[in-house]
A = this chain, B = another copy of it.
């Protein structure tokens, strides 16, 4: 099927918007029996759903809880099991780092270590103003035979990129994911990664030396742990794959990075939801496809804050008229995965999905919700089908066969 749709692609002067409400899907609050989306007042989403084709999208497969990377790849039509994009790469691209094909990137976490034992894996969630300065210091670390770049991401998180010959990303995480134990040394999974393991160890040692003297008094960021070692996956570019010109509107680094990895034009960093809509309007004539990302629904879900997630959904609902007003030929509103507040994490549950277009069937569901989408015509379908569905409704796929 993947080869088939490529033969049918055609360029058209039609516009598509993919609005990803991160972590949209939820689970019922035990007291009300209603999910976050069902609890939220969403007159605009509900009204749009009534004249849309709806369903529940399955990000990876039944029962599989996806990370944000694979979940987005599915929505973009790339097989997320075949194309693994590591955490390090997503972090590097998220901070606008121009990653090269053979670079190896890893997520940095500032941590507190006492007498060789991790006592805080996030160094008190050291704020940006301090952590960014520490990253500037670490960026000066020199290791023979390899270039080292360190960039700050957010709070206690940063990213390190090693550039040189013969590097490999086949290393295990150096973060044991718990306190009360020592940090792990770098461990190569294959012999070819031995050199990179030594470099990683050397980097951590040098960093610890610098941090011991330079961390702020209130946040004892005296150590770094590296995880998610990854090199550039070399994915086919989005615009080439679908014969279009795509732009990404996203606030959070990782999603900006993912869009850049696929070669989308990433618009300037927006300042909140209204600003995202402003960018969409201002750039509407310059692109065919917009990836419009909303983060807050996911972070509130991960915090386990049901009420805040409800509010975040309601905030998105208010934007919908401005987006519909642009008259896109195809507008999809969905999430990349579910983040039920009662689980405080991503989950495997399929995600409410609606496709609005002049050429879309009307499923006539009563509103946009998990239950209603579960009764709609797309049923429970693989999220990876999203792109062909969007392209079809934007009349960008020719007829197959005579």
Distance A1 CA – B81 CA, assembled complex (angstroms) = 8
Q: Say whether, besides A361-B374, A379-B380, A68 and B4 are in contact (CB < 8 Å).
A: no
Interface window among A123-131, A133-141, A180-188, A345-353: A345-353
A103 to chain B, nearest CB (A): 17
Choice from B56, B342, B373, B397 contacting A65 with Cβ under 8 Å: B397
User: Is the CB–CB distance between B80 and A381 below 8 Å?
Assistant: no
Interface-facing stretch out of A146-154, A218-226, A279-287, A383-391: A383-391
**Chain A stretch 209-251: residues in CB contact (< 8 A) with chain B:** 228
Q: Which residues of B contact A358 (CB under 8 A)?
A: 30
Please name all residues of chain B whose beta carbon is closer than 8 Å to the beta carbon of A380 when the two chains form the complex: 377-379, 381
A269 in contact (CB, < 8 A): no
- Tell me whether A191 is interfacial, beta carbon within 8 Å: no
Contact A5 B63 (CB under 8 A): yes
Supposing A374-B376, A380-B378 touch, asked if A348 and B65 sit within 8 A by C-beta, the answer is: no
Beta-carbon contacts under 8 Å, A166-218 to B? none
Docked-complex contact B69 and A361, CB < 8 angstroms: no
A377 lies within 8 A of B56 (CB): yes
Specify the chain B residue showing the minimal Cβ separation from A391: B63
- Given A371-B364, A401-B80, A5 and B64 contact (CB-CB distance below 8 Å): yes
B359 x A68 contact (CB < 8 A)? no
Which listed segment binds B: A83-91, A113-121, A156-164?
A: A83-91
A367 within 8 A of B: no
A401 and B371 alpha carbons, distance in the complex (Å): 27
Give 9 nearest A-B pairs by CB, closest first.
A374-B377, A63-B388, A87-B402, A63-B392, A67-B401, A70-B401, A62-B385, A379-B379, A348-B392
Can you list 24 residue pairs at the A/B interface with Cβ under 8 Å?
A8-B64, A8-B65, A28-B361, A28-B362, A62-B381, A63-B391, A63-B393, A65-B392, A65-B397, A67-B400, A67-B402, A69-B402, A70-B400, A86-B402, A87-B402, A340-B359, A342-B359, A346-B399, A361-B371, A361-B374, A373-B377, A375-B375, A378-B380, A379-B380
**Known contacts A67-B401, A69-B402, A348-B397; can you find 10 more A-B pairs with CB under 8 A?**
A1-B81, A27-B361, A28-B361, A56-B377, A63-B389, A63-B391, A69-B401, A80-B401, A348-B392, A361-B370
